Amino acid sequence: MSKHYTRPLDFKHGLVNLTHGSGGRAMAQLVSELFAPAFDNEWLAQGNDQAILPPPGGRLAVATDSHVISPLFFPGGDIGSLAVHGTVNDLAMGGAEPRYLSAGFILEEGLPLADLQRIVHAMARAAREAGVAIVTGDTKVVERGKGDGVFISTTGIGVVPAGLTLSGDQARPGDAILVSGTLGDHGMAVMSQRENLRFDSPIVSDSAALHTLAQALTAASPGLRLMRDPTRGGLATTLNEIASQSGVGMRLKESAIPVSPAVRAACEFLGLDPLYIANEGKLIAICPAHEAEAALAALRAHPLGRQAALIGEVVEDSHHFVRVRTDFGGERLLDWLSGEMLPRIC
Amino acid sequence: MKYVDEFRRGDVARGMARRIHESVQAGRPYRLMEFCGGHTHAIARYGLTGLLPDNVRLIHGPGCPVCVLPIGRVDSAIELALRPEVILCSYGDTLRVPASNRGSLYQARAQGADVRMVYSVTDALQIARDNPQREVVFFAIGFETTTPPTAIALDTARRENLKNFSVFCNHVLTPPAMRHLLAAGDAVQLDGFIGPSHVSTVIGSAPYAAVAAEFAKPVVIAGFEPLDVLQSVLMLVEQINRGDTRVETQFTRAVTETGNQKARELVAHTLALRDSFEWRGLGQVPHSALAVHPDFADFDAELRFALPYRHVPDHKACECGAILRGQKSPRDCKVFGLVCTPDNPLGSCMVSSEGACAAHYHYGRFMETAEA
């Protein structure tokens, strides 16, 4: 396609329309003027239906994640950066070094091209920072009203170092439970921007790529059992998943669980529990008790883990209950999230 | 967090618990009903039962707004929501309340109903302003606490002449429910009430005096923080020991004797007392609920949509009724935690985290396995 015969995309006032997904000239233009230069790498530049990658040199980790967030932009990130971090972190939690991403875009007719450009640039930046290449992609456009601006689905491939085996079924009674920082920041940052809610708050999403933090941890704790990122459903749901998978129970100390004052306050007035709120830049780690100190130190030495904390221990429990000792001296169950998280009425 | 952490201090709690242990008389039962779901939630969330002596028993009351909403009313709301012209707005928890045939507003939404969760009735007004071609109905529920916002919405709608806004009013009142519980023939044995918190900021402490005097039961109006609840238990224990049956206020930082005068006037102006209203678990309770005032009839969804009321009995196996009356606890229910779970609630007490069953399921069920 010769540039001379095409008017450049109007990233100031233009809107996505159905032709951008129809496989014709408009779509090619969107790819050549936006996606290709933003994501630029040798594999994407092959320009074929597939990216052909060099031999990996190790076991492969694959993870996929679809992103449907509303609003698209929030304090601390947007759907673009999130689409990279979400998948990179899923790889990193298995100890993998993230290498490649694919990206599928479902755009809604009427989405401002300016928004799309902002999202794609954020995605490209996040991928560069995380050291992953977006090597293949796809774009579809749905009619107005049939999407929510943009949905992004990413699949990632990473390589797991030899000898490293982390898995959700490896928690053992006596193990230490660590978390890399404050909880609930992402979910509350997004909620503060919701159309029907908008409240002023200093809360910023923690959305970040965790692979270097994860690498620091695996280096410091050779006996590390597993890592998980507590996204949807928050800490509570993730710990319950691990407890079931490993066939163990857990005992946490409420006062040890880090939650920022702003998140606590926002949860307080909305009637929500920060332990059920999503995170996008935190990890939970379980390691043998004697390695807990070294693991904690390694987390705290990393910029993304400064507020890391030891929050509890794995115990034997045939019911797989996660129990919390409250600051008050009582004990309660920290259950799975059921249904959608809804605020209480009175 | 200032003004919150102070009311959650563990060291103060332990001191308070010690004083309760010292004050109770051995062999004497102290059966205290916490009226509100907010109390139920605080008790479960902070594990307060574990701090109390064995002879102090907390009995969950009916003060969970979504729990007492009868099935027939939810059915009506669903019927309304399924009308293509209607946008039904309500507070979060309401969406999950089970209706007939395992339906709910959530289900209705999946069937195409336009149901919107709002945090405030002002959002519902805004939706009405933004959608003049649609009928916006606010599904108003809750105790006295949530009546002033509904009152303001009605007043605003009339001032703005918002012709497409109406209120489906299901507000219920606390003192008549307390009276009903105590007057029932098969009433549970109670020695005192942990009285409503936020409700009393609106209506004040005075309305409970008649109930306390008539049935000779002490009432202590308590805040929703865990220390509030503990201190109220201590105050009730002391009253019971002395043989007192007074209305006392522990929640002095927000409750006065007369409540919020302005809010009460506004409510009286826009909402009117119903002769009778069905409560889930309690049945028909006379003078226990509010309807849209006849002066605001134009904004009354029940009139606008000619909604008939149909009584629907609870599921046979569900013990919500007896639990809401304080006669049974969640663990007495055969379907608790089996057929009825927070993900698939059969009864309304399993819906809101303020409901006795959901609170027990979420926070307390490990205790049973320890006992078993």
pLDDT tens across the length of chain A (346 residues): 455 566 888 999 999 999 998 888 888 999 999 999 999 999 999 989 999 999 999 999 999 999 999 899 999 999 999 999 999 999 999 999 999 999 999 999 999 999 999 999 999 999 999 999 999 999 999 999 999 999 999 999 999 999 999 999 999 999 999 999 999 999 999 988 876 677 778 899 999 999 999 999 999 999 999 999 999 999 999 999 999 999 999 999 999 999 999 999 999 888 889 999 999 999 999 999 999 999 999 999 999 999 999 999 999 999 999 999 987 877 889 988 776 666 555 4
- CA distances B363 to B45, B239, B360, B368, Å, are 6, 30, 5, 11
> Tokens for B43?
């008790």
Distance, in Å, from the CA atom of A119 to the CA atom of A11, rounded to the nearest integer, reads 12
Residue of chain A with shortest Cα separation from B16: A328
Percent of chain B scored above 90 by pLDDT? 65
Contact criterion met (CB < 8 Å) for A330 and B92:
no
Say which residues have a Cβ less than 8 Å from residue A180's Cβ, sequence separation at least 6: A210, A213, A282, A283, A284, A285, A299, A304, A305, A307, A308
Chain B residue numbers with beta carbons less than 8 Å from the beta carbon of A261 are 1
Contact criterion met (CB < 8 Å) for B47 and A331:
yes
Judge whether B251 is closer than 8 Å to chain A, CB to CB: no
**Among partner residues A265, A332, A339, which is closest to B47 by beta-carbon distance?**
A332
Judge whether B331 is closer than 8 Å to chain A, CB to CB: no
User: What does R_g of chain B's alpha carbons equal in angstroms?
Assistant: 21
Chain A residue numbers with beta carbons less than 8 Å from the beta carbon of B343 are 338-339
Domain spans in chain A, listed from the N-terminal domain onward: 3-160, 176-333
Give the gap in angstroms from C-alpha B223 to the nearest C-alpha of chain A: 12
B330 with B360: CB under 8 angstroms?
yes
Judge whether B223 is closer than 8 Å to chain A, CB to CB: no
Which pLDDT score is estimated for B84?
96
CATH 3.40.50.620 fits A176-333, yes or no: no
- Residue of higher predicted confidence among B174 and B10: B174
Chain A residue numbers with beta carbons less than 8 Å from the beta carbon of B353 are 344
Chain B residue numbers with beta carbons less than 8 Å from the beta carbon of A197 are 119
Judge whether B57 is closer than 8 Å to chain A, CB to CB: no
3-state secondary structure chain A: CCHHHCCCCCCCCCECCHHHHCCCHHHHHHHHHHHHHHHCCCCHHHCCCCCCCCCCCCEEEEEEEEECCCCCEECCEEHHHHHHHHHHHHHHCCCCEEEEEEEEEEEECCCEHHHHHHHHHHHHHHHHHHCCEEEEEEEEEECCCCCCCEEEEEEEEEEECCCCCCCCCCCCCCCEEEECCCCCHHHHHHHCCCCCCCCCCCCCCCCCCCHHHHHHHHHHCCCCCEEECCCCCHHHHHHHHHHHHHCCEEEEEHHHCCCCHHHHHHHHHHCCCHHHCCCCCCCEEEECHHHHHHHHHHHHCCHHHCCCEEEEEEECCCCCCEEEECCCCCEEECCCCCCCCCCCCC
Which pLDDT score is estimated for B371?
41
Which pLDDT score is estimated for B372?
35
User: What does R_g of chain A's alpha carbons equal in angstroms?
Assistant: 22
Judge whether B142 is closer than 8 Å to chain A, CB to CB: yes
- CA distances B62 to A116, B26, B348, Å, are 51, 29, 11
Pairing relation of β-strands A133-142 and A97-108?
Answer: parallel
Query: Which residues of chain B from 152 to 181 reach within 8 Å of chain A, CB to CB?
Result: none
Identify the residue among B120, B348, B366, B369 best suited for mutation to test binding to A, counting A beta carbons within 10 A and taking the highest.
B366
Q: What is the mean predicted confidence (pLDDT) over B104-120? A: 93
Distance, in Å, from the CA atom of B344 to the CA atom of A345, rounded to the nearest integer, reads 20
The residues on A that touch B, with CB distances below 8 Å, are 196-197, 261, 264-265, 268, 270, 319, 321, 323, 326-333, 335, 338-339, 342-346
Q: What is the mean predicted confidence (pLDDT) over B107-114? A: 94
Q: What is the pLDDT of residues B306-355, one digit of tens each?
A: 988 889 888 888 888 888 888 888 889 999 988 898 888 888 888 877 78
**Among partner residues A261, A268, A345, which is closest to B146 by beta-carbon distance?**
A345
Judge whether B36 is closer than 8 Å to chain A, CB to CB: yes
Distance, in Å, from the CA atom of A51 to the CA atom of A58, rounded to the nearest integer, reads 19
Distance, in Å, from the CA atom of A145 to the CA atom of B332, rounded to the nearest integer, reads 48
A210: left (phi over 0), alpha (psi -120 to 50) or beta: alpha
Chain B residue numbers with beta carbons less than 8 Å from the beta carbon of A196 are 116-119, 123
Contact criterion met (CB < 8 Å) for A326 and B47:
yes
**Among partner residues B10, B143, B341, which is closest to A327 by beta-carbon distance?**
B10
State which fold the A3-160 domain adopts: 60s Ribosomal Protein L30; Chain: A; (3.30.1330)
Contact criterion met (CB < 8 Å) for B48 and A328:
yes
Say which residues have a Cβ less than 8 Å from residue A339's Cβ, sequence separation at least 6: B96, B342, B343
Mapped onto helix, strand or coil, the DSSP state of residue B277 is strand
Give the gap in angstroms from C-alpha A185 to the nearest C-alpha of chain B: 16
pLDDT surpasses 80 at B369: no
Which pLDDT score is estimated for A2?
52
Pairing relation of β-strands A249-253 and A322-325?
Answer: parallel
A301 with A219: CB under 8 angstroms?
no
Judge whether B38 is closer than 8 Å to chain A, CB to CB: yes
pLDDT surpasses 50 at B236: yes
Residue of chain B with shortest Cα separation from A262: B1
Tell me the pTM: 0.86
Task: Report how many Cβ contacts below 8 Å link chain A to chain B.
Answer: 107
Which pLDDT score is estimated for B346?
85
**Among partner residues A197, A261, A344, which is closest to B353 by beta-carbon distance?**
A344
Chain A residue numbers with beta carbons less than 8 Å from the beta carbon of B4 are 268
